[in-house]
Amino acid sequence: MDTHFGRYIMGAREGAPSFSAYGNVGTIALTAEPRNAEELRAAIEVLSRECAFDIVGRATDTLFPDGLYDAAVLTTRSMTGAEFCGTRVVAAAGEKLPLLAGKAAARGLSGLEQLCSIPGSVGGAAVMNAGAFGREFGELVEWADVIEDGRERRMSAEECAFRYRSSALGGKVIVVAVALRLGRSDVRDVRAAMDEFCARRAATQPTGKSLGSVFARHDGTSAGWYIERAGFKGAKCGGAQISSRHANFIVNTGGGTAADYLSLLRRVRDGVFAHSGVRLVPEIKALGGEI
């Protein structure tokens, strides 16, 4: 297999870090990290011929297994950049959402203020239809360029079928770039709004290593409400802990493993079901296994 596409391939080396934003330590056998659409196409072509592979953006919503993950992972995180034309911006899949929001603000373009501290990539935000403070990423999307079964095509916002924390993107539909339509505003107003949303987040969410919200809302009610009522705030499993600040976050208190994270997640899910009859659905993704 020709593995020399992209910037580097991370081999199964002892101690090589996993990408997990939750901070557990592991090793990925093979990592492809294309820097642009052309390298992405090449990576997909080679990997599709040779083996099954997972795709991640910045992996801020994805739990990596502990130890060796004996599989290939393609990350778009080095596919960065954004081109602005009037109120439209076309951003590469790996562009960091906070960075894009900052670039938009500097041009007096509004729309991304509520999403400015979601740490993922543009591709991940599109797949997940990431949202915060009443704004969803999909609301801004005009189209997405994707590769599906080796073929490139442009999907309209309608085809992307954005729903609460999901879309028709992802899986075999690999996002290459996304076009967003923003609004005209004043630089100072956009920056002031961003500061306000950042402050609101800082006041309510933990700062430790985590994957953000563990579970999706249930019938419009936050999962944290159910978790707190079932008495799990502060509950621990090894190095994983339900944040005492926000019950829908599992934070790594040091040395937390994926196994700790998943044990705690399942304990909470079962406990909430026993307490209120509600089966919470995980929002996070996990490589290499069922949640």
Ligand X SMILES: Cc1cc2nc3c(=O)[nH]c(=O)nc-3n(C[C@H](O)[C@H](O)[C@H](O)COP(=O)(O)OP(=O)(O)OC[C@H]3O[C@@H](n4cnc5c(N)ncnc54)[C@H](O)[C@@H]3O)c2cc1C
- Options 121, 213, 217, 269, the catalytic residue: 213
Residue 90 near ligand X by CB under 6 A: no
- Options 165, 181, 201, 245, the catalytic residue: 165
Q: Whole-number minimum distance, CB 61 to ligand X, in Å?
A: 3
Whether 165 is catalytic is yes
Choose the binding region for ligand X from 128-136, 184-192, 255-263, 273-281 (rule: CB under 6 A).
128-136
Residue 121 near ligand X by CB under 6 A: yes
Residue 100 near ligand X by CB under 6 A: no
Residue 24 near ligand X by CB under 6 A: no
Residue 58 near ligand X by CB under 6 A: yes
* HEC assignment per residue over the chain: CCCCCCCCECCCCCCCCCCCCCCCCEEEEEEECCCCHHHHHHHHHHHHHHCCEEEECCCCCEECCCEEEEEEEEECCCCCCEEEECCEEEEECCCEHHHHHHHHHHCCEECCHHHCCCCCEHHHHHHHCCEECCEEHHHHEEEEEEEECCEEEEEEHHHHCCECCECCCECCEEEEEEEEECEECCHHHHHHHHHHHHHHHHHHCCCCCEEEECECCECCECHHHHHHHCCCCCCEECCEEECCCCCCEEEECCCCCHHHHHHHHHHHHHHHHHHHCCCCCECCEECCCCC
Residue 147 near ligand X by CB under 6 A: no
Residue 89 near ligand X by CB under 6 A: no
Kindly tell me which residue out of 10, 21, 104, 180 binds ligand X, with binding defined by CB under 6 A: 21
Q: Which residue's CB is nearer to ligand X, number 121 or number 257?
A: 121
Site string for ligand X, 241-260 (x = CB under 6 A): --------------------
Q: Whole-number minimum distance, CB 283 to ligand X, in Å?
A: 7
Residues at the contact surface with ligand X, assessed by CB under 6 A: 21, 55-62, 76, 93, 118-121, 123-125, 127-128, 130-132, 169-170, 174-175, 210-212, 285
Q: Which residues are catalytic?
A: 165, 213, 283
